[in-house]
Structure 1
Amino acid sequence: MTVALQASLVGVIVGLVIGALGAGGGIIAVPVLTYLLGQSPHDATSGSLVIVGLTALATLPAKYRLGQVRLRQGILFGALSAAGAIIGRIANHHLDGHLLFVSFSVLLLVVSVLMMRNARTQRRTEQSAASPTRQLAAQDTDRPGTDSAVGSSPSPISLIATATLTGMLTGLFGVGGGFIVVPILMLVLRFTVREAAGTSLVVMVIASAVSILTGLAAGQFHVDWPVVLCFLLGSTVAARLGGRLSQQVRQSTLSFLFALLVFLIGALTLTQTLLAAG
């Protein structure tokens, strides 16, 4: 199988994940670019930024038309994440490749556990909303474009801290940060699952763009464009399918399956990195 075909096929998986969950594309892209497509850790994180940012951008219009994007809140969160993205991108080029991937693997394992817990919470909410006495309330809460899902605003300090952390992870590891943004928007701003996933795309686009510009300004942004473009071909097309899939399948089921995938990737990446270091 050629490298171009491999990149396109894996791009399909990444696109499905971003389209369905609004998160997680970079988590898959970085280890795949390194271990399957033979790129260095630093080049893989650079390529992942391009893939995640453009795939999120391609998914955004459809989510917006469905009323699942709160643009103002997304732009605010994304703008606040810019400083963290700059710091993370600078730190990326001062870390040893093995240390970078050990840290990334640990991040994957932690995220997988958190997402499994979130999937269980989503399933309980879905089961509760499906009961006859609560169906009407559930429909009102999850109707695209409704404002009833928004709760009280978070404190400025917690919002800035969370956004900065999201930006740092984006710049450092080449991930979009959606796996942090989605639960934060749900828990703090009381967004529905679909609104949080849609709005997180705005944050991913902004944080990725800032990280890319920071790398370019420092002359430390290297991308294998033929591979990345093949990857993008698969991911941008599949992202639209992922958006449709999210309307047909229980969100808790998607979240659980993705959490399992992240755990396996994290375990394999950590094992490969430690073996290579030995």
Structure 2
Amino acid sequence: MELVLLAIAVGIGVGIVVGALGAGGGILAVPVLVFLLGMDPHDATASSLVIVLITALASLPHHARKRNVQWRAGLVFAGVSVVGAVLGSRLSALVPADVLLTLFGVMLAAVAVVMLRRGVGARRDEALEVAAHGTTEAADPPPVEVHDDPVLDQPGPDMVETADGLHHHHGEAELPLAPSAAPSPRLGRVIAAASLTGLLTGFFGVGGGFIVVPMLVIALGLAMRSASGTSLLVMIIATITSLLARVGTEVYVDWTTTLIFAAGSALGGVIGGPLSTKARPSTLTLLFAALLAGVAVVTLVETLLL
């Protein structure tokens, strides 16, 4: 009973962070499942996949209704990522637990650095916009929609500035790209991006929103909102593949704890979402970077020194 209550409380806490900061829940779920709920690292990566899958399935219909899902591009990208997902899942099962957590901590630190650079750049852009307008109005932009659903691995505000022009139009409806407007992606770039996405998803048990969205923008030339919605389709296929690839291994999924955690996280996401509506994108991005850096430090210290 105590474990169930802890799973609910921790799940809600992670969900609030996800909703407020747009942070990737898969990135946060693995260390939480290991260090707070006492799961084996390999089991935690599998449980994280289940959590990401459930929330992505719940959120996809909404984004589909908003026409933010590019089905053809998403299916092609996801299809290529399957190979990486299978390979990553099999490799993950073979890697010792301490090594897996160490690599996970290094990945967290790397993502934190990237987010920090994005946040500093976004803050600089906001300052330039304020100077250009000669007022402070630009420093308090209209509410930014981080994501519409409590998706564990949805992109946060840190990703908004990566799409051309979006940082000048927060909160406005984005017109869909005409087929001729999107740049022609290079096959090699698409294959490399999709394979890396699948590999990270399978190996670390993360949904990959932090990597899928920029990959879709860069490799396929999708607009930001389309990339955000399409990433859900990619994550669903990649996580299903990664879970199936673990069949026959010694990985065990604690379904009770996992499903309770997922439900708590979804509830927390609903609570946390409104917290971000009046915050500047750069502030949310910097908070996300600080959070990831903190989790990275804890993960590496717990794994290497204790």
* Smaller-chain TM-score bracket: 0.7 to 0.9
Is 1:46 matched with 2:46? yes
The 8 Å contact of residues 140 and 148 in structure 1, kept in 2 or not, is answered as no
2: CA distance between counterparts of 1:206 and 1:22? Answer: 22
Displacement of 1:196 in angstroms is 2.9
The 8 Å contact of residues 189 and 219 in structure 2, kept in 1 or not, is answered as no
- Per-residue deviation, residues 55-110 of structure 1 (Å, max 9, x unmatched): 12222222333343333322222221111000000001111110111111101000
Is 1:177 matched with 2:221? no
TM-score normalised by structure 2 residue count: 0.77
2: CA distance between counterparts of 1:241 and 1:192? Answer: 28
Name the CA shift for 1:261/1:229 in 2 (closer, same or farther; >3 Å). Answer: same
Name the CA shift for 1:191/1:229 in 2 (closer, same or farther; >3 Å). Answer: same
Q: Indicate the residue corresponding to 1:147 in structure 2.
A: 177
Amino acid aligned to 2:243 = I
1: CA distance between counterparts of 2:238 and 2:64? Answer: 19
2: CA distance between counterparts of 1:74 and 1:227? Answer: 31
Q: Indicate the residue corresponding to 1:9 in structure 2.
A: 9
The 8 Å contact of residues 123 and 282 in structure 2, kept in 1 or not, is answered as yes
The 8 Å contact of residues 73 and 220 in structure 2, kept in 1 or not, is answered as no
2: CA distance between counterparts of 1:70 and 1:24? Answer: 21
Question: How many residue pairs align between the two structures?
Answer: 275
Q: Indicate the residue corresponding to 1:215 in structure 2.
A: 246
Q: Secondary structure at the match of 1:208?
A: helix
1:191-206 alignment runs, 5 A limit: 191-206=222-237
Could you list the runs of 5+ residues in structure 2 that have no partner in the other structure? 142-164
Q: Indicate the residue corresponding to 2:191 in structure 1.
A: 160
1:60-139 alignment runs, 5 A limit: 60-123=60-123, 138-139=168-169
TM-score normalised by structure 1 residue count: 0.84
Percent identical across equivalent pairs?
44
Which is further off, 148-157 or 103-112?
148-157
Is 1:257 matched with 2:287? yes
Name the CA shift for 1:250/1:56 in 2 (closer, same or farther; >3 Å). Answer: farther
Displacement of 1:240 in angstroms is 4.7
Q: Indicate the residue corresponding to 2:149 in structure 1.
A: none
Displacement of 1:16 in angstroms is 4.6
The 8 Å contact of residues 93 and 251 in structure 2, kept in 1 or not, is answered as no
Which is further off, 23-32 or 233-242?
233-242
The two structures, once aligned, show a CA RMSD in angstroms of 3.2
Amino acid aligned to 1:265 = V
